[in-house]
Structure 1
Amino acid sequence: MPGDAAAAIIPGSMRPALIIAASLAATLIQASAAEVVIGVAAPLSGPSAMLGEQVRQGAEAAAQAVGAKIEIADDACTSEGGKAAAQAFVAAKAVIVTGFLCTEAIEAALPILKQAGIAVVATGVRTNSLTDRRAKTGWPVVRFAPRADDEVEAAASILGRAWRGELFAIVDDGTIYSRELAEGLRLSFEQSGLKAAFIDTLRPQLDNQIGLAGRLRKSGATHVFVAGDRPDVAILGRDAAQIGYQVTIAGGEVLRAASEGVDLAPGTLMIGLPEWSEIADPAVVARLRDGKVEPDGYVLPAYASVEIAAQATKAAAASGSDILSALGGQEFSTVLGPVGFNDQGDRTDNPYRLYRYEGGAFIEVDQQ
């Protein structure tokens, strides 16, 4: 059937998806006779260069382990860099791309990669719209990183179970991030039938939080979630103890920051991501360190992203499907455990966990 006649019987709403799928499949078929190239986008220049170097190190180590060829491009965490990186991947005949830590870079790169039929495993971009708009944009992307709202969803789920029946308060420090976290938690709690006994805003970067501790004690709250930085949470915990106020304090992933003078109170809870090296395959961690690569930051997520890209490419070749379909059709074995993606392109699991601060370190709390 001639192409124009075939197109005429395909509903208009379906044509973009079919065209993308055909393009992705064609790219894979063309690459099957030669060595498959995996692109890696990382900010190797500019203020995020240290993070980009972590991506590079992890991707190179993974490529060596899985026997893949990679093409690394500097996206500089800018829209211009993202476009340049995408063009470099097209020129290198990459069949799939990993990396990207910044929204500006990936959003500039995706139209070019979509046109070339190149799928993307985003390593570090959390912006919800990246995948929320996938049905509209047709961007061939999944993300290894959590969504921006995964933190509040995990906090609502974990603390909602643990604090049911308790008097609790919610406090934020007035910043956009903290307000969104606190408001999201409040709404999620209320949808589950839980209502905060007290809601307040702290003044950040003060030498003491005696006033806030006093207001919390007066409210009767025995538990409080503080959407704020580690130093402020630490000072609140210290001052609560000084006035004899026994309260369980919880916060978000920012509590994993380095200590600044006053330490967190023992028993402080955190909803946060794991230290990747603590949950990674020990053999891989050992190999990285033998090669003088410390598995910090984005090293292991980049390693896992390349593993996913390699496995998806092989699965697509074996089944004759396109790579984007392969990315959504299975669970991948990675250095950080099994990872799968839903139809929207987000992870099927929420990687946030509950931790308790004990002995100067965060220890994971068993939720079973």
Structure 2
Amino acid sequence: MRCLAFFICCSLAAFSLPAAHAQEPVVGLAAPLTDSFELLGRQMRDGARKAAQTLNARIIEADTQCSTEGGEAAARSLIDQNVSVVVGFLCTDAIDAALPLFAEAGIPVITPGVRTATLTDQRERTGWPVFRTAPRADAERDAVARLLLPRWRDAFFAIVDDGTIYGRELAENLRATAELQELKPVFIDTFRPQLDNQIALAGRLNRSGATHVFVGGDRSDIAILARDAAGMEYDLVIAGGEALRAEESAMPLADGTLMIGLPRWADIATETARSALEEADIVPDGYVLPAFAATELAVAALRSGSGPIAEALQSGTFQTALGPYSFDEKGDLKQPLYRLFRFDGQTFQEVE
């Protein structure tokens, strides 16, 4: 009888171990862990690892090398190791090569790094199970119009750009959206960038009667324009895009300058996430927190018990270190990431 009892107990233990193991969420991480983008890939890895550790999940890593060949190899490796969902990717070439393989295997991908608009725009045609927690490439230009026009509806506003692709796209989209809302700028212009002064531009704006101006340009030109407008005793509200997050320019940025940009992730992260990273001596730079939040999202969807994970991701709303995440029909975040900030002389503070 003792032998029989021992046999039964051992058999039950042997049976229970695989079942418990099967319930452990297994998340793949696809990131560039070598070569030129290694620093950014390691940020992703640090965030994903720490999130998985706090959630009692398992991470399996693969190096995409930010290349077509690396993306395909990473996908095959993760598929062979039976991951349930994949987090990561930074480069378009790598994810484009990997997604057909993941689609065939029925494994969804959550990317906190790839912004290329076509990644999700072609989803209806390709059927690729991709969900993007990064902003789209066109999100900034749409945010400029969304955040500024309601505030400037009754203002005499102008739109200028520096002639670069970046500056012109922001300015042209703002102009076109204003026109659709039956709003007309008092002044539109393209200025010459990287000059020692922008007195001529400030003068043209002043003569137009503009009290507000959006500048599609870099931090240095915006700082110089503000200085020259102030020198004329011209009270001008100036707004720019996320290029204002660039390193300090020779000319200090003026107090009150507005920026449409992404928040610093550490400023909006939950205390739980910040504490977990601090305890592990992980500096929350770059992709650390976006990867942390994407991994939380992956594990929560796996544990939701609401059918296939892709369906859970598509239909649910999940709380993460960076706030609630839910997706539209393309797989892009419904929650807007860009916000309006005002420079206080030291840092950018969010405008409510």
Please report the TM-score for the alignment, with normalisation by the length of structure 1.
Answer: 0.87
Correspondent of 2:341 among 341, 352, 355 = 355
Matches within 5 A, 1:299-318: 299-315=288-304, 318=305
Which residue is 1:111 aligned to? 100
Q: Is the 8 A contact 1:303 1:335 kept in 2?
A: yes
Name the residue aligned to 1:336: 322
Q: Is the 8 A contact 2:253 2:345 kept in 1?
A: no
- Counterpart position of 2:131: 142
What is residue 199 of structure 2 aligned with on the other side? 210
| CA distance, structure 1, for counterparts of residue 97 and residue 260 of structure 2 | 32
Equivalent residue, structure 1, for 2:220? 231
Kept in 2: contact 1:208–1:239 (CA 8 A):
yes
Name the CA distance, whole Å, in 1 between partners of 2:52 and 2:275.
Answer: 16
Q: Mean alpha-carbon deviation: is it higher for 35-44 or for 105-114?
A: 35-44
Q: Distance in 2 between matches of 1:143 and 1:127?
A: 10
C-alpha displacement of 1:32: 8.1
Kindly tell me: are residues 116 and 32 of structure 1, through their superposed partners in 2, closer, same or farther at Cα, counting changes over 3 Å? farther
Contact map agreement 1:274 1:353 (CA 8 A) in 2: yes
Query: Quick check: 1:294 aligned with 2:283?
Result: yes
The match for 2:308 is 322
Distance 1:31 1:147 in 2: 39
CA distance in 2, matches of 1:196, 1:46: 47
Aligned equivalent of 1:184, options 143, 149, 173: 173
Out of 118, 139, 148, the residue aligned to residue 129 of structure 1 is: 118
**How many positions carry a matched residue from both structures?**
334
SS in 1 for 2:239: strand
**Residue type of the alignment partner of 1:214:** G
Mark the runs of 5 or more structure 1 residues left unpaired by the alignment: 1-29
Give the share of equivalent positions with the same residue, in percent: 54
**Structure 2 unaligned runs (5+)?**
1-18
Deviations 1:96-124 (A, max 9, x none): 11111221211111111111111001111
Equivalent runs, 1:275-290 vs 2, <5 Å: 275-290=264-279
The correspondence for 2:34, drawn from 45, 57, 63, is 45
Deviations 1:144-189 (A, max 9, x none): 0122222222221221111012111111122212211111111111
> Which residue of 2 is the match for residue 222 of structure 1?
211
* Structure ID, larger Rg: 2
Match of 2:14 in 1: none
2:24/2:56 contact within 8 Å kept: no
Q: 1:294 to 1:263 in 2, by over 3 A?
A: same
Query: Structure 1 CA distance, aligned partners of 2:345 and 2:249?
Result: 16
CA distance in 1, matches of 2:179, 2:21: 53
Q: Distance in 2 between matches of 1:239 and 1:50?
A: 40
